[in-house]
Amino acid sequence: MRRYKIIVNPASGRGLGSKSYPLIEKQLGLLGLDFDMEWTEAPGHAVKLAEQAAMEGYDVVAAAGGDGTINEVLNGLMQARSNGRPNTILGVIPIGRGNDFCYGINVPHDLPAACELLAKCETKPINIGLVVGGDYPEGRYFGNGVGIGFDAVVGFEALKLKRLHGFPSYIVAALKTILLYFQAPTVQIEMDGQTYTQPALMVSLMNGRRLGGGFMMAPNGEMDDGLLDLCIAGQVSRLGILALIPRFMAGTQASHPAIQTQQAAAIKVSAIDGTLPAHGDGETLCTAGQALTISIVPELMDVITPSAGLSG
């Protein structure tokens, strides 16, 4: 019988995590799972809990929280992998604000349905990304994507909004960011043996498809193709940024003349003029970085996903 470790972030979803704890416990008990549950107590705690659980031999380590909690659990499992525990399965129960990673692997946002999916334990291997630079010179893993520039600042501003939840908080944050971050820094982008230098209001590098609970940064992205989907937004006016927002919501931004899209397995982004605010899976990588290298890790990780497979 599989052993499950459920790592719950009580602060996820503006406190939804703490309210969901007894519901998750009851649902998994009804499903007959052999499981243990544990709270996170501070930022970064889920990394340690996940690594410890994997090293103790749990078959499945599940993150109950948002994209940030999943990111921490993912990093813990990757640390355990480097210590000889490569086969631990990643599970997720979405109780965060954006739940973008769960969207990418088709995990339902309904709590009982997500718990039933854990019990079925149908898995699929996915790619994991690694970003090196900023506040993480040693590197940090990510599952969904890395945002540099405008979308990173949107995430920072969304965290400040205490009364809004989910996608509406990101919409309001995007409108605020238009006033705060509208001058594109000049960046150098290196990939596939070529170098590009240009103003870039935003550089998005996606393993998944969506950010911020509703912005389709890579509408055709696939988590198992071994490639990052790159989206670059050049310099546009404030009104131009406003006009782009519905395009990103619909996933039609690629047809706009200020947008460039491409795929690559490894990309380096450096600031030539200005600095790089950046996030990975919604977690701050740096507020004023100089260079970031983003790549796909060769090894795959098994995640629990419906038999229908991944989005895309």
Q: What is the CATH number of the domain that holds 215?
A: 2.60.200.40
Alpha carbon 52 to chain centroid, angstroms: 22
DSSP helix/strand/coil, 146: strand
304 lies in some domain: no
* Strands of 165-282, DSSP E: 186-191, 194-199, 202-206, 228-233, 259-264, 266-273, 276-280
The set of long-range contacts for 165-174, using a CB threshold of 8 Å and a minimum separation of 24, is 165/13, 165/14, 165/97, 166/97, 166/98, 166/213, 167/98, 167/212, 167/213, 167/214, 169/97, 170/97, 170/98, 170/212, 170/213, 170/214, 170/215, 171/214, 171/245, 174/212, 174/245
Count the domains in the chain.
2
84: domain CATH number is 3.40.50.10330
Please tell me the predicted confidence (pLDDT) of residue 181.
84
**pTM of the predicted structure, to 2 decimals:** 0.93
What's the mean pLDDT when you consider all of the chain?
A: 93
Which of 121, 155, 182 is a domain's end point?
121
Please tell me the predicted confidence (pLDDT) of residue 165.
72
Please check whether residues 148 and 223 belong to one and the same domain: yes
44 lies in some domain: yes
Cα distance between residue 273 and residue 67, in whole Å:
31
Cβ atoms 77, 61 nearer than 8 A = yes
Please tell me the predicted confidence (pLDDT) of residue 308.
58
149 lies in some domain: yes
Please check whether residues 113 and 136 belong to one and the same domain: no
303 lies in some domain: no
302 lies in some domain: no
Please tell me the predicted confidence (pLDDT) of residue 311.
58
Please check whether residues 240 and 274 belong to one and the same domain: yes
Please check whether residues 26 and 173 belong to one and the same domain: no
312 lies in some domain: no
| Weakly modelled stretches of the chain, pLDDT under 70 | 14, 308-312
Please check whether residues 25 and 116 belong to one and the same domain: yes
Please check whether residues 18 and 143 belong to one and the same domain: no
72 lies in some domain: yes
Please check whether residues 274 and 165 belong to one and the same domain: yes
Please tell me the predicted confidence (pLDDT) of residue 112.
95
Please check whether residues 112 and 136 belong to one and the same domain: no
Please check whether residues 93 and 185 belong to one and the same domain: no
What is the tens place of the pLDDT at every residue in 206-229? 999 999 889 999 999 999 999 999
Please check whether residues 261 and 138 belong to one and the same domain: yes
Give the range of the structural domain holding residue 179, as residue numbers without chain letter: 130-296
Please tell me the predicted confidence (pLDDT) of residue 86.
87
Cβ atoms 208, 223 nearer than 8 A = yes
Q: Which two tokens stand for residue 295?
A: 């790549």
Please tell me the predicted confidence (pLDDT) of residue 27.
95
Which of 121, 146, 167 is a domain's end point?
121
Which of 121, 140, 160 is a domain's end point?
121
Please check whether residues 13 and 80 belong to one and the same domain: yes
Please check whether residues 83 and 31 belong to one and the same domain: yes
